[in-house]
């Protein structure tokens, strides 16, 4: 993982050399010749680390370190020191510096400490974003986790359909949290103060359906796996919706309800009434960048339930998680978190046994699927996002058996 590096050194030649080293390692280097020139970049939302010389005219590295500690004590500062400055650097470590390097520093040593600092910073910002989600009064932000663009789009879509009061069809793969999304739609709707009643649609009789509608009057009735609803009950549901009764119907399905309606397996009129507003939940394969934040959240929950301290989650562990397919989506990731807390992370061990090439291949496939999902299956747009030539992109799709049309909505 890489991020931005704010490089501060009054020696222009040193700045240029270090800047080239950083850019060759795919870091985004911001350079400044003094504390004053760098000051505006030092903010709590800075998504990077600081690499600064100690000895500079005017305000030196110690002043910069003190200022950074005041602005954000969790913003990593790495100090560059000459041979005679090592005692000063040790002192700086005691005052909160992330690390120090002796000039001239070896490239491998520089990149190693930057990688550690980058990971630390990314984790800090991720945890802050998650905490903000948990503390916000917005149910979509509080209950639908994730920092990817797909998660942001999902929350925006939920807020939009919730306000309408119309019927909503929630779709997504198994284990993706269809019921939870339906609950958030209810909470954010005009009927949010009313009851939220949920019931599997399979085996639901017309009489029981009518009773549930009365129970959910003034609120919402969520029908899970609506594709399994008996035919007679489908007609009863259609009649209630057409009468405009005081119960909002929310339906969820992992099936292609439109295809079932076209085949005559599901009532087409009911499908069109339920499909007035649709919310599609992306799979974990489409948003692998959400796996770390979701896993950390589930680990914290599992540790609290088990009454034990949450174990440390290493970057290698998260990388192994991202290399997996997760066909069970959030539900299977939640189970993996519980096993991890209880000391049984067998899924990750299995992923690690695949070897580096296979793990990288799985991550690459996940990123390809993610790009297609974000761009509605448009291969040319997905290729641009990933900064790949179109031929290379299509070659990779062929290699992994990925069809862009499967990700069009």
Mean pLDDT over the full length of the chain:
85
Clarify whether residues 127 and 151 are in a common domain.
Answer: no
Average pLDDT of the segment spanning 97-105? 84
Clarify whether residues 327 and 390 are in a common domain.
Answer: yes
Predicted confidence (pLDDT) at residue 82 exceeds the cutoff of 60? yes
- Give CA–CA dist 177/406, Å, rounded: 20
Average pLDDT of the segment spanning 319-346? 82
Predicted confidence (pLDDT) at residue 104 exceeds the cutoff of 60? yes
What's the pLDDT tens digit per position in 355-393? 556 666 766 777 787 778 778 788 888 888 888 888 888
Q: By C-alpha distance, which of 70, 63, 65 is closest to 49?
A: 65
Clarify whether residues 167 and 219 are in a common domain.
Answer: yes
Predicted confidence (pLDDT) at residue 133 exceeds the cutoff of 70? no
Predicted confidence (pLDDT) at residue 23 exceeds the cutoff of 60? yes
Contact 337, 302 (CB under 8 A): yes
Last residue of a domain, one of 76, 105, 131: 131
Tell me if the pTM is above 0.85: no
Res 272: pLDDT = 95
Clarify whether residues 127 and 149 are in a common domain.
Answer: no
Clarify whether residues 324 and 242 are in a common domain.
Answer: no
Q: Quickly state the pLDDT bin for 349 (edges 50, 70, 90).
A: very low
Clarify whether residues 343 and 362 are in a common domain.
Answer: yes
Number of domains in the chain: 3
Clarify whether residues 23 and 49 are in a common domain.
Answer: yes
Last residue of a domain, one of 131, 162, 177: 131
CATH code (residue 367):
1.10.8.60
Contact 45, 72 (CB under 8 A): no
Clarify whether residues 105 and 171 are in a common domain.
Answer: no
Clarify whether residues 144 and 108 are in a common domain.
Answer: no
Between 95 and 169, whose confidence is greater? 169
What's the pLDDT tens digit per position in 391-409? 888 888 888 888 888 777 6
CATH code (residue 46):
3.40.50.2300
What's the pLDDT tens digit per position in 29-47? 999 998 888 988 999 989 8
CATH code (residue 204):
3.40.50.300
Lookup: tokens for 203: 């085996």
Predicted confidence (pLDDT) at residue 80 exceeds the cutoff of 70? yes
- Name the residue range of residue 220's domain: 139-280
What's the pLDDT tens digit per position in 54-72? 888 878 888 888 899 999 9
Clarify whether residues 93 and 111 are in a common domain.
Answer: yes
Res 222: pLDDT = 96
Q: By C-alpha distance, which of 168, 398, 406, 181 is closest to 285?
A: 406
Q: Quickly state the pLDDT bin for 134 (edges 50, 70, 90).
A: low
Clarify whether residues 153 and 230 are in a common domain.
Answer: yes
Distances (CA, A) of 108 to 76, 104, 364: 19, 12, 26
104 preceded by cis ω (within 30°)?
yes
HEC per residue, the chain: CCCEEEEECCCHHHHHHHHHHHHHCCCEEEEECCHHHHHHHCCCCCCEEEEEECCCCCCCHHHHHHHHHHHCCCCCEEEEECHHHHHHHHHHHHCCCCEEEECCCCHHHHHHHHHHHHHHHHHHHHHHHHHHHHHCCCHHHHHCCCCCHHHHHHHHHHHHHHHHCCCEEEECCCCCCHHHHHHHHHHCCCCCCCCEEEEECCCCCHHHHHHHHHHCCCCEEEEECHHHCCHHHHHHHHHHHHHCCCCEEEEEECCCHHHHHHCCCCCHHHHHHHCCEEEECCCHHHCHHHHHHHHHHHHHHHHHHHCCCCCCCCHHHHHHHHCCCCCCHHHHHHHHHHHHHCCCCHHHHHHHCCCHHHHHHHHHHHHHHHHHHHCCCCHHHHHHHCCCCHHHHHHHHHHHCCCHHHHCC
Clarify whether residues 148 and 276 are in a common domain.
Answer: yes
Last residue of a domain, one of 82, 99, 131: 131
């Amino acid at each position: 993982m890489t991020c931005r590096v704010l490089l501060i050194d009054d020696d222009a030649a040193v700045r240029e050399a270090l800047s080239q080293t950083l850019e060759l390692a795919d870091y985004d280097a911001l350079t400044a010749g003094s504390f004053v020139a760098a000051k505006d970049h030092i903010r709590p939302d800075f998504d990077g680390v600081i690499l600064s010389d100690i000895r500079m005219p005017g305000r030196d590295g110690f002043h910069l370190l003190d200022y950074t500690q005041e602005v954000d004590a969790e913003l990593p500062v790495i100090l560059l020191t000459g041979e005679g400055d090592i005692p000063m650097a040790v002192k700086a470590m005691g005052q909160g510096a992330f690390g120090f390097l002796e000039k001239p520093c070896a490239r491998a040593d520089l990149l190693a400490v930057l990688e550690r600092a980058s990971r630390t910073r990314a984790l800090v910002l991720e945890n802050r974003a998650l905490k903000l989600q948990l503390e916000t009064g917005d149910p979509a932000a509080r209950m639908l986790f994730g920092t990817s663009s797909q998660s942001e789009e999902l929350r925006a879509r939920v807020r939009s359909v919730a306000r309408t009061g119309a019927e909503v069809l929630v779709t997504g793969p198994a284990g993706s949290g269809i019921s939870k999304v339906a609950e958030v739609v209810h909470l954010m709707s005009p009927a949010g103060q009313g009851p939220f009643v949920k019931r599997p649609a399979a085996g639901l009789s017309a009489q029981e359906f009518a009773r549930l509608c009365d129970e959910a009057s003034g609120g919402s009735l969520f029908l899970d796996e609506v594709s399994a609803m008996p035919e007679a009950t489908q007609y009863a549901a259609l009649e209630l919706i057409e009468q405009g009764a005081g119960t909002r119907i929310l339906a969820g399905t992992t099936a292609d309800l439109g295809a079932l309606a076209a085949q005559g397996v599901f009532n087409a009129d009911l499908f069109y009434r339920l499909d007035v507003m649709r919310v599609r939940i992306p799979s974990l394969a489409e948003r692998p960048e959400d796996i770390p934040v979701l896993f950390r959240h589930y680990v914290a929950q599992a540790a609290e339930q088990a009454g034990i301290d949450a174990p440390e989650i290493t970057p290698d562990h998260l990388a192994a998680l991202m290399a997996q397919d997760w066909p069970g989506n959030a539900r299977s990731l939640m189970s993996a978190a519980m096993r991890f807390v209880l000391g049984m992370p067998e899924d990750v061990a299995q992923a690690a046994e695949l070897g580096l090439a296979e793990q990288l291949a799985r991550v690459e496939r996940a990123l390809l699927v993610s790009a297609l999902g974000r761009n509605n299956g448009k291969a040319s747009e997905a290729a641009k996002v990933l900064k790949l030539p179109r031929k290379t992109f299509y070659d990779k799709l062929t290699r992994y058996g990925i069809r862009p049309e499967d990700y069009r909505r």
